[in-house]
């Protein structure tokens, strides 16, 4: 696998030629005869053409840095240049603003960034087309002047901004304030007043993205249960108070999030749920105040950086964090190596360790699809050959069983993006 590059070619043509010969099935996907320094030189020339405009889009729109880079480089063509392929864009993002010690971003990853950017641009276009009545008909967009709000509205939004808030933050907050919101305390009291006894309120943390739209499971211990014996009947609207069913958002501890409710009998198990209220009859008693603490801790732990999750692991007594070399579904299989006495839970205990739902690594977010908790001994016996350690606790603070197991891996999280990516198997990185 090689590529011949003519010196008179434009840098974008050279990047396209190299990108066409990338082979991600090899340890080194770059074609033979191509030096990493060459690629970096071509990319920095391209950066002189497009970099300032990319930064303008990044700062003035809701596109992320990667989305702005991908969309501009894929869709806009500078005079004398070629349109970059997805593979060439991956080379550019890989080389600009980072050490070129990892692998270029694959076509799949770049295509996802591009799809996200196109979706956001389509949403913005649709908003512009339907934001007002004539004299702004659809055909104005053939030669548009994008005016999101008039001067008076812009000043009013600016006056409502808090310190360090972006305009998007202001609009989100103002929309939250206009939504019909119910507090977690009010929700529990409403159920207690309407039914003979509210047994349990729990969060179905096994649901995807549960921390972004709270899926509540309300378990009712009342005479009303006897009239709805079938599971399909138990979730009917008769068991959801009107003040709850008409609410849009759930508030707790200064957070406001969308939510949904399913009603179930009190006898329904809660082993796979995060209990945030229990009367003590079918589950160990949990007050609303303690439930709010549990829910807040769990949400805070759901989406973390590699550094923050390693800090929590160190403080909790985890020996090491590993990743299975093959992905699971659309994400990673996280392996927690810890003493058998360490509790691993979704947030319903004061100590222990709460696994993350998503992990931010360098320029991508990896979904944690499965978590396995093993002792150091079991790790060496069964998991070691197919697991990559991404972090190992400082030996001075390790439990004795951890020290004796001689875990070999990085004891700190590197600062550079490329070094962080090197911690993970390539197959796992390609899921993010």
Pairing of strands 332-337, 364-374: parallel
198-203 sheet: strands from edge to edge:
181-183, 249-252, 255-265, 214-220, 198-203, 274-278
Q: Is 276 exposed, middle or buried (0-12, 13-18, 19+ CB in 10 A)?
A: buried
The pLDDT value recorded for residue 334 is: 95
What pLDDT is recorded for position 232?
A: 43
Return the pLDDT at 28.
81
23-43 in b/e burial notation, b at 16+ Cβ within 10 A? eeeeeebbbeebeeeebbebb
- pLDDT tens across the length of the chain (432 residues): 678 888 889 989 999 899 888 888 788 888 888 888 888 889 999 999 888 999 999 888 889 888 999 999 998 887 778 889 999 999 998 888 665 567 888 888 899 999 999 989 888 888 877 666 555 444 444 444 444 566 677 777 778 888 888 877 887 788 777 788 999 999 999 998 888 778 999 999 988 889 999 999 999 975 544 444 444 444 445 678 999 999 989 999 988 899 999 988 888 888 889 999 998 887 889 999 999 999 999 999 999 999 999 999 999 999 999 999 999 888 899 999 999 899 998 888 888 899 999 998 887 889 999 999 999 999 999 999 999 999 999 877 666 767 777 888 898 999 888 889 899 998 898 887
CB 407 within 8 A of CB 392: yes
Other CB atoms within 10 Å distance of the CB of residue 260? 12
pLDDT for res 321: 95
- Matching residue, tokens 């209990």: 275
Question: Can you give the length of the chain in residues?
Answer: 432
Q: How far apart are CA 3 and CA 50, in angstroms?
A: 25
- State how far the Cα of 1 lies from the Cα of 147, in Å rounded to an integer: 51
């Amino acid at each position: 696998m090689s590529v011949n590059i003519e010196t008179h070619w434009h840098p974008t043509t050279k990047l396209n030629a190299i990108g066409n010969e990338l082979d991600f099935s090899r340890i080194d996907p770059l074609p033979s005869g191509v030096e990493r320094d060459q690629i970096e030189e071509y990319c920095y020339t391209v950066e002189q053409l497009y970099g300032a405009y990319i930064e303008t889009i990044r700062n003035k729109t809701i596109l992320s840095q990667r989305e702005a880079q991908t969309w501009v480089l894929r869709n806009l063509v500078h005079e004398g240049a070629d349109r970059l392929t997805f593979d060439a864009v991956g080379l550019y993002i890989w080389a600009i603003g980072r050490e070129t010690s990892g692998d270029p971003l694959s076509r799949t990853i770049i295509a996802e960034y591009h799809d996200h950017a196109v979706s956001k641009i389509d949403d913005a276009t649709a908003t512009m087309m339907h934001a007002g009545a004539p004299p702004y008909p659809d055909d104005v967009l053939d030669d548009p002047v994008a005016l999101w709000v008039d001067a008076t509205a812009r000043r009013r939004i600016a006056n409502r901004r808090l310190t360090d808030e972006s305009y998007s933050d202001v609009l989100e907050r103002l929309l939250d304030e206009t939504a019909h919101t119910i507090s977690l305390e009010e929700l529990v009291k409403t159920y207690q007043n309407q039914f003979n006894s509210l047994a349990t309120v729990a969060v179905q943390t096994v649901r995807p993205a549960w921390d972004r739209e709270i899926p509540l499971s309300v378990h009712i211990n009342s005479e009303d249960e006897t009239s709805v014996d079938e599971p399909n009947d138990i979730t009917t609207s008769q068991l959801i108070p009107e003040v709850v069913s008409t609410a849009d958002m759930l508030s707790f501890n200064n957070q406001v999030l969308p939510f949904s409710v399913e009603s179930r009998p009190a006898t329904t198990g809660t082993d796979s749920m995060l209990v945030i209220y229990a009367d003590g009859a079918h589950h160990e008693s949990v007050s609303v105040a303690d439930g709010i603490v549990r829910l807040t801790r769990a949400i805070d732990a759901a989406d973390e950086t590699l550094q923050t999750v390693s800090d929590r692991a160190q403080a909790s007594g985890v020996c090491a964090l590993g990743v299975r070399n093959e992905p699971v579904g659309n994400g990673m299989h996280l392996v927690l190596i810890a003493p058998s006495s360490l509790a691993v839970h979704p947030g319903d205990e004061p100590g222990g360790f709460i696994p993350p739902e998503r992990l931010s690594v360098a320029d991508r977010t990896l979904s944690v699809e499965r978590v396995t908790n093993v002792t150091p001994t079991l790790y060496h016996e069964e998991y070691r050959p197919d697991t990559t350690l991404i972090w190992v606790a400082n030996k001075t603070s390790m439990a004795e069983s951890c020290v004796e197991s001689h875990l070999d891996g990085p004891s700190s999280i590197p600062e550079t993006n490329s070094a962080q990516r090197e911690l993970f198997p390539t197959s796992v990185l390609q899921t993010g």
